[in-house]
């Protein structure tokens, strides 16, 4: 059995986007965003982010045209301020104007981040990922630190992989032009590789959060490890203010995701739950359905302190599966993953897994900085140099995956 571990560099190889833009990395995210049509779309919300940048970073609206700070550092900074404010002892501080600026800027970045990926991946199935899907065997496991859906599209194209069973963790419902409950699907014992998405996915959905008396809360009455998955639609789906946007391939959608079929929280006794939608003349009204619980992409954003526990056991189960896979894999292939500064959890993942092994795996590293990663495996994780193979390049559609097998034979 082998483990295929995908980082941002694997998605960077997608060169078929109709936008003509490549997937961003942290340091060029805002530059990438401004190259996309969504940068001119009035439904794409950045007002509170701009307010944050102006008030706390001295970046004016006009300066934002050239703004290109590393999104991991910006998002981490906002998250730290948000959490510090939520944890203030004085209740009045927890409902301050500052808190709401932090909260709205934080959530706007989640939507913006997801929207950029959706726009770029909204094209033909990735040739690079098709090659990977054909190379994998049924027993193999894909560990992905990426939020995009390039790998699942490729697997769905070449195998019986599906959203109901293919993610290891099972969603409550999958949207295929309507919500289909997972429990209504009869398993067919079809075999295909499993995808374990360690930071969530652009097409995973949960209920929108809000600031309540307990800090950041959710409108979802059910446990937060109960999530939904979006696959595809033909008809306009229900979404926030009816702002459905057509023209998207499977596993991608416009800025606003589909509303959820989940039960929302009831208001406390003697109170009402209300939702306000601000009407603005420069922002056209949506014409689609509005029923259901307003959703937000279920991703762990690229921040320093990742809130895995917020979603109950969901990510604990995913990371446990990842560790088990790394313990048993004969071959581990890392493509485009460079151990970012904000991914402390990945260091622990490898240390824990390798400490439980009786044998050393073969590790193949495809990365322009492969030597640096090789050194990490040697000096941090204790892997013998003879078990490490490096390829100092980005993965592309012309990369010969048979090179890995040839290395084993030599």
- Given pLDDT bands bounded at 50, 70 and 90, which one contains residue 312? confident
Instruction: Work out the angle at residue 232's Cα, subtended by the Cα atoms of residues 228 and 235, and round it to the nearest 5 degrees.
Output: 110
| SS3 state of residue 210 | strand
d(CA 382, CA 380): 6
Tell me: the pLDDT tens digits for 265-297?
A: 654 444 444 454 555 556 778 888 999 999 999
Confidence of residue 139 (pLDDT cuts 50, 70, 90): very high
Report d(CA 109, CA 29) in Å as an integer.
11
Sign of the Cα torsion 314, 317, 318, 319 reads positive
Q: 237, 286 in Cβ contact below 8 A?
A: no
Instruction: Give 9-56 pLDDT, tens digit per residue.
Output: 899 889 999 999 999 988 899 999 999 999 999 999 999 999 999 999
CA distance 101 to 58: 15
Tokens for 254? 């416009």
Q: To which H or E segment does residue 195 belong? A: strand 194-197
Q: What is the mean pLDDT of residues 361-370?
A: 94
The span from the CA of 395 to the CA of 11, in Å, is 9
The CATH architecture one would assign to domain 2-13+125-164+193-199+310-409 is 3-Layer(aba) Sandwich (3.40)
The DSSP secondary-structure symbol of 72 reads H
- Which are the contacts of 185, defined by CB distance < 8 A and separation ≥ 6? 164
Range scoring the smallest mean pLDDT among 137-146, 183-192, 400-409: 183-192
User: Which of 84-93, 123-132, 239-248, 348-357 shows the lowest mean pLDDT across its residues?
Assistant: 84-93
Bridge partners (DSSP) of residue 176 are: 232
User: What is the C-alpha separation between 126 and 130, in angstroms, rounded?
Assistant: 6
- Give the start-to-end residue ranges of the domains of the chain: 2-13+125-164+193-199+310-409
CA torsion, points 301, 306, 311, 312, in degrees to nearest 10? 160
Residues in Cβ contact with 50 at an 8 Å cutoff, skipping those fewer than 6 apart: 61, 64
The pLDDT tens digits for 140-184 are: 999 999 999 999 999 999 999 999 999 999 999 999 999 999 887
Mean of pLDDT values over 405-410: 74
Q: What is the pLDDT of residue 224?
A: 84
């Amino acid at each position: 059995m082998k483990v295929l571990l995908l980082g941002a560099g694997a998605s960077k190889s997608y060169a078929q986007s109709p936008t003509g833009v490549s997937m961003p990395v942290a340091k060029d995210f805002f530059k990438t965003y401004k190259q996309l049509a969504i940068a001119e779309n009035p439904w794409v919300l950045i007002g509170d982010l701009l307010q944050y940048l102006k008030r706390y970073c001295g970046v004016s609206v006009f300066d934002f045209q050239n703004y290109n700070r590393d999104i991991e550092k910006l998002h981490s900074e906002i998250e730290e301020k948000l959490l510090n404010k939520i944890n203030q002892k004085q209740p009045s501080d927890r409902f301050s104007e500052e808190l709401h600026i932090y909260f709205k800027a934080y959530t706007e970045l989640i939507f913006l981040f997801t929207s950029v990926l959706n726009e770029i991946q909204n094209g033909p199935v990735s040739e690079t990922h098709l090659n990977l899907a054909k190379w994998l065997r049924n027993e193999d496991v894909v560990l992905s630190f990426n939020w995009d859906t390039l790998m699942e599209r490729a697997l769905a194209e070449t195998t019986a992989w599906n959203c109901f069973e293919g993610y290891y963790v099972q969603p409550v419902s999958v949207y295929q032009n309507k919500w289909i409950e997972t429990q209504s699907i009869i398993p067919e014992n079809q075999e295909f590789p499993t995808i374990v998405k360690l930071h969530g996915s652009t097409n995973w959905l949960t209920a929108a959060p809000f600031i309540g008396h307990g800090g950041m809360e959710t409108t979802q009455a059910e446990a937060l490890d109960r999530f939904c998955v979006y696959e595809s639609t033909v008809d306009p789906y229900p979404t926030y203010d009816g702002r459905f946007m057509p023209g998207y391939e499977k596993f991608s959608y416009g800025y606003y995701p589909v509303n959820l079929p989940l039960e929302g929280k009831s208001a406390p006794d003697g109170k009402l739950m209300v939702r306000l939608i601000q009407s603005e003349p420069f922002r056209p009204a949506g014409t689609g359905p509005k029923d259901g619980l307003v959703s937000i992409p279920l991703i762990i954003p690229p921040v320093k302190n990742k809130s895995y526990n917020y979603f109950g056991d969901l990510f604990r189960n995913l990371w446990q599966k990842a560790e088990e896979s790394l313990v048993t894999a004969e071959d581990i292939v890392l493509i485009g993953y460079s151990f970012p500064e904000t991914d402390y959890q990945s260091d622990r993942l490898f240390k824990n897994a390798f400490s439980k092994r009786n044998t050393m795996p073969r590790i193949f590293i495809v990365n322009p900085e492969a030597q640096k990663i090789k050194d990490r495996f040697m000096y941090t994780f204790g892997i013998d140099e003879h078990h490490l193979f490096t390829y100092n390049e980005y993965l592309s559609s012309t990369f010969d995956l048979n090179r890995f097998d040839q290395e084993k034979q030599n």
